[in-house]
Amino acid sequence: MSGAPILATLLREALPGVPVLDLGLPAGRIFPWWPGARCGVADPAALAPAEMALLRRFRQGPAGLPVFGLDRAADAALLAGAPGALGGAAAPLLVLQGGIPDHLAPLLAAGAMLLQGGQTDTMPTPPGPERGRIMLLCGSVSRIERWDLLLPIDEIELVFTRLHVAAQRLAVVLGGAGRWQVGGRMAMARLASLGMLATGAEQVPPLSVPGGALPHDLPDLAEADALRFGASRRLRLLLGALPARPAWLRLRLHGLDPERPPALFLDGRMLPAQLRQEGASQVLEAPVRLRPDLAAVAGLALPEGAAPGLVLLGLEIGT
């Protein structure tokens, strides 16, 4: 079970308005559940050439930002710790799976918060201002994932309280308290812990992302909430690493010709998709089984003769 969907949902409640940079690619487990979060690579040199070539195709948001770590010019302002470089005035949240690469030190020295996956007790202290720690335990009682949230000491109690309230609320939404163990405590001013663990079957919040927030490879820029195909007939979307479970992948579209439905792909394999009308839009959907260790790539291909003007309104993954 992946605890990342629960973790991202809780943190979005506790840290509203905080810009996020998820440096977990070629997996990337937080950004799918945090629309607007920028995705990136902590160690580009570790990528295989084919992975790097694929990831370089993707752009995010109305500014058309590339995957962080793969474009020196686009990364310069962010690496310099410039305020607002991630699109918000607040200090950013960096998401890392493991140690801190040297080139990220300026961001942390400028006050960035840090979310680290795995056992972080033996890792070096991040540069910059002194930080406290909230240990976050997510997943299930049989398989616990640990993440550590490092942030200014004077913010620990407030963020911990918000996380605790959000966890209790989410437990009710996802089936009631009997399906979850939720608890936490403040050990001291600089240290707290919080757990949200499923007691039985996996419970994952449904995923719904506006089209404009999805990393894509269209030549034109995204709008705030949508992706317009223009003259393009093919599209790829970087979904991130998602929980390995049977699910439905759904693309919500506008302007689709039902006589010429597109082909839907996942990681290069064509899916048995079906098309249905839903109000003024169309939904193209197919059953999938996702993998939790590598970012999935969804693809859409329009047939010859398809009329221009197709718009991707959003993507959903659910039961």
Mean pLDDT across the stretch 254-278?
92
Q: Which CATH architecture fits 207-318?
A: Sandwich (2.60)
Task: Note the pLDDT tens digit of each residue in 24-41.
Answer: 999 999 999 998 899 999
Kindly tell me if the per-residue pLDDT of 1 is higher than 60: no
Give me the pLDDT at residue 133, please: 95
Single pTM value for the model: 0.92
Q: What is the pLDDT of residues 37-93, one digit of tens each?
A: 999 999 999 999 999 999 999 999 998 999 999 998 888 878 876 656 677 667 899
Eight-state DSSP code of residue 303: P
Helix (H) / strand (E) element for 157: namely: helix 156-173
pLDDT band at 287 (very low <50, low <70, confident <90, very high): very high
- Both tokens assigned to 302: 């329009």
Yes or no: say if 234 and 263 are a contact pair by the CB < 8 Å rule.
no
Residue 45 CA to its chain's centroid (Å) = 22
- Write out pLDDT tens, residues 88-107: 667 899 999 888 888 888 88
CA–CA distance, 226 with 206 (Å, rounded to integer): 19
Count other Cβ atoms within 10 Å, centred on residue 165. 13
| CA torsion through residues 121, 127, 132, 135, sign | negative
Domain ranges of the chain: 4-198, 207-318
* Fold match flag (4-198 vs 207-318): no
- Could you read off the pLDDT of 197-240 as tens digits, one per residue? 998 866 778 899 999 999 999 999 999 899 999 989 999 999 99
- Provide the pLDDT for residue 64: 92
Mean of the per-residue pLDDT values for the chain? 89
CATH of 4-198, one of 1.20.5, 2.60.40, 3.30.70, 3.40.50: 3.40.50
Q: Which residue in the block uniquely carries the two structure tokens 């140690």?
A: 99
Long-range contact set of residues 208-211: C-beta below 8 Å, sequence gap at least 24: 208/314, 208/315, 208/316, 208/318, 209/32, 209/35, 209/314, 209/315, 209/316, 210/35, 210/313, 210/314, 211/252, 211/311, 211/312, 211/313, 211/314, 211/315
